[in-house]
Amino acid sequence: MCAGCGKRFAKAALVRFTVRETAVGRELVLAAGGNMQGVPGRGGYVCPDPECLDRALARKSLLRRLKATGESPELREEFARLIEARQ
Ligand SMILES: [Zn+2]
């Protein structure tokens, strides 16, 4: 389910997020390749729409789900690159 719009999608259509432990906290990042590969544990998903990422970040639903303390400063840019590459 997309954390932005709440609609259901096939997992392959969604972009997956995970967290990275850093010196300052738990940072929300794209999971490797934005998909399921190689990342154990909980995941958060957003459909490939930048507005949904913005909504999910504004609502903090992704942060809460993954117990993240903030998002990576490059997150929006990486998301945009990923969905562009998929088209
Ligand atoms: Zn969505």
Rounded CA gap, 10 and 73, in Å? 28
In-domain check, residue 3: no
pLDDT > 90? residue 51: yes
Q: Can you give the pTM of this predicted structure?
A: 0.84
Is residue 76 included in any domain, yes or no? yes
**pLDDT interval class at 13 (50, 70, 90):** very high
Cα(27) to ligand 1 centroid in Å equals: 21
pLDDT digits (tens, 9 = 90+) for 53-81: 999 999 998 999 999 999 999 999 999 99
- For ligand 1, a single-atom ion, which residues have Cβ within 5 Å? 2, 4-5, 47, 52
CA–CA separation, 43 and 36 (whole Å): 9
CATH of the domain at 48: 3.30.1230
The answer, yes or no, to whether residue 39 has pLDDT greater than 60, is: no
62 CA to middle of ligand 1, Å? 12
What pLDDT is stored for residue 83 in this prediction? Answer: 92
- Spacing, Cα 75 to ligand 1 middle (Å): 16
Range of the domain at 66: 11-86
Pairing state between β 70-71 and 25-30? parallel
Q: Which two tokens stand for residue 87?
A: 């088209």
Q: To the nearest whole number, what is the mean pLDDT of the chain?
A: 88
All residues at 6 or more sequence positions from 86 whose CB lies less than 8 Å from its CB, including other chains: 48
Q: Is the residue at 15 inside a domain?
A: yes
Looking at the 3D structure of the chain, how many domains does it have?
A: 1
Ligand 1 mean position to 21 CA, how many Å? 26
Tell me how far the alpha carbon of residue 20 lies from the centroid of ligand 1, in angstroms.
23
pLDDT for the residue 66: 92
- Residue partners of 77: CB distance under 8 A and separation at least 6: none
- The predicted structure's pLDDT at residue 37: 46
